[in-house]
Structure 1
């Protein structure tokens, strides 16, 4: 496999340069393979222990391709984080965009906010539990939660922070509580944390439930629990606010 911009010619013939279109496609494919290999390596071993030589080998390219495409190991690490952020945004962006537009227009009342929170839970569960790549993203994200680097900023700015702010604002409208109050933020973190644990604590889930994967039945059961907890939380907060 070659990673330069030349196309091998018939035996004995001089080599010719690839067209810009062919060269661009080849470079893009190499870049994608490096990101794919690095996602697993960084998730399994962490940034420091991950071997760039092994990443290049798994990607079917040479070591020089990493500085060529990413400027070095740090740039590759950031590119993996951006890849995850883009993938998640592609699956959650629609419901988040819709909620943001309604929030900006000021057209959301408490019942509508409740409906949108349920929609966020549905979309989140479908992606976190149902998307085949989510299991590969999880180790990388867990490491960034434990030891944040510049890659965490990419993930946070790319989808995590934005989605949480939207959910917090919806929760505030649904309950009548301030959006930036610590109690509101804690409750939203706890609500979505109940979903995330089913991806991050896979060994515990398998040991206690015997689930080796998440099919429609398993996802439906988890989602039903989340909806129950959301409704109970919103009802309790509305009742407490009414008594103040």
Structure 2
């Protein structure tokens, strides 16, 4: 016979998880819009529709909630690009071990696939909330930025840098390769942070399925432009 306390415990756990996620979603939106100092705990609780004491219960304080948002963001990003990220990192690790080096053709194909995945993510309306939070952290980095960089950005940048190094025939750790990698990533990110300009310039009222297909196609063009010094992109 199932004991009643166990049933209540499962129900309470589900309720607690739901309350915690509501706070994280509200915090992600509000912190992205107004920054850490611009949001009160009362406003956070009201937006989440929970009791004010819930913030201290789940996160200790507002700073704890702010940092937890960074961890939550990493989880969401991994879910959205998880499969592609896993494939890239595993292939990168294999190449690093010397078992099966990556040649220029494969490097280009992988970069295009990564670019397409990121452009698809950035075209999604959900990413607008994420990016506002991340842009604030880029402008004034806190512990939250360290979490995002270490937990998600750094592993991918390292792999992408290795692939770019193959294409430009340069040391992946060199300044030139790092800057070229950042240039590529920046060219992808503009499709999220520069959304208003893109809509105006393209004459689009919104980004729908057709627009996403067009944007994804840019990935191949961007990667095609990566080549050694002195060589022209073909």
Q: Same fold (TM over 0.5)?
A: yes
TM-score range, shorter chain: 0.7 to 0.9
Contact 2:104 / 2:166 at 8 angstroms: preserved in 1?
yes
Runs of 4+ aligned structure 1 residues displaced above 4 Å come to none
1:198 to 184, 191, 194: 191
TM-score between both structures, scaled by the size of structure 1: 0.85
1:101 to 70, 78, 90: 90
Contact 1:95 / 1:120 at 8 angstroms: preserved in 2?
yes
Q: What stretches of structure 1 of length at least 5 have no aligned partner?
A: 1-15
1:187 alignment counterpart: 180
Matching of residue 167 in structure 1 with residue 156 in structure 2:
no
* Number of residue equivalences: 223
Deviation at 1:238, TM superposition (A): 7.9
2:129 alignment counterpart: 136
Deviation at 1:180, TM superposition (A): 1.0
Q: Deviations over 1:27-53 (max 9, x none)?
A: 111101111111111011100111110
Q: Deviations over 1:136-170 (max 9, x none)?
A: 11110110010101111111122112111111011
Matching of residue 232 in structure 1 with residue 221 in structure 2:
no
2:39 to 33, 50, 75: 50
Contact 1:78 / 1:151 at 8 angstroms: preserved in 2?
yes
1:85 alignment counterpart: 74
Q: Deviations over 1:49-97 (max 9, x none)?
A: 1111011012111111001000100111111111111111122232222
Deviation at 1:114, TM superposition (A): 1.1
Matching of residue 35 in structure 1 with residue 24 in structure 2:
yes
Distance 2:230 2:10 in 1: 59
Secondary structure of 1:214's partner? Answer: coil
2:209 alignment counterpart: 216
Structure 1 pair 64–111 and aligned structure 2 pair: CA distance change class (3 A): same
Deviation at 1:217, TM superposition (A): 2.2
Q: Report the aligned-residue RMSD.
A: 2.0
Contact 2:70 / 2:147 at 8 angstroms: preserved in 1?
yes
1:5 alignment counterpart: none
1:4 alignment counterpart: none
Distance 1:22 1:219 in 2: 40
Contact 1:34 / 1:56 at 8 angstroms: preserved in 2?
yes
Higher relative contact order (CA 8 A, sep 6+): 2
User: Could you tell which deviates more after superposition, 118-127 or 220-229?
Assistant: 220-229
Contact 2:24 / 2:69 at 8 angstroms: preserved in 1?
yes
Q: What stretches of structure 2 of length at least 5 have no aligned partner?
A: none
1:114 to 82, 98, 108: 108
